Amino acid sequence: MDFMTAMDIAASGMSAQRTNMNTISMNLANVSTTKTASGGPYQRREVVFQAVPVRDDFEQHMQSEMDREVKGVKVVNIQRDDRALKRVHDPGHPDADEQGYVSYPDINVVEEMANMLTATRAYEANLSSMTTIRSMVTQALQIAR
């Protein structure tokens, strides 16, 4: 694997984790949203990742010998979570139904913060990889001088 392929893999991971952090932030921002533009309460969203092959000429030559693929990652979908809504008795709320219950999204703030921490660490790991790769490229160029 060459340096640019390694950078592409790390960059794909950073991009995917940035999308994940944005989605988690959106979940946290809408923890109490009872009415969206579509009419119902907000529904929690989650990111679906998929490993994708990163192809370059070097890898194609080595494929037969190593019998493996170098992978990157991409966001395939941002899907709605099918969790049931939380119903809270609040007859004075403007979005209350006939029985006085308001439907809220079932978003666990602790779970979302743990997901955010995991996404942040994954982003930082990819950034560290890019920093290491850049250092290796710099050292290789100095050797060539």
Are the beta carbons of 144 and 42 closer than 8 angstroms? Answer: no
Structural domain for 122, as ranges? 3-144
Put simply, whether the predicted model's pTM sits higher than 0.85 gets the answer no
Per-residue pLDDT, 3? 81
In degrees and rounded to multiples of 5, residue 107 shows phi and psi of: -115, 120
Most confident of 50-54, 61-65, 99-103: 99-103
Alpha-carbon span 94 to 43, nearest angstrom: 19
In degrees and rounded to multiples of 5, residue 67 shows phi and psi of: 50, 50
Per-residue pLDDT tens digits for 3-29 = 888 888 899 999 999 999 999 999 999
Number of structural domains found in the chain: 1
3-state secondary structure 15-67: HHHHHHHHHHHHHHHCCCCCCCCCCCCCCCEEEEEEEEECCCHHHHHHHHHHC
Per-residue pLDDT tens digits for 62-85 = 554 454 555 788 899 999 998 999
Tell me which of 24-28, 107-111, 133-137 is least confident: 133-137
The 8-class DSSP code of residue 99 comes to: T
User: How large a percentage of the chain has pLDDT more than 90?
Assistant: 67
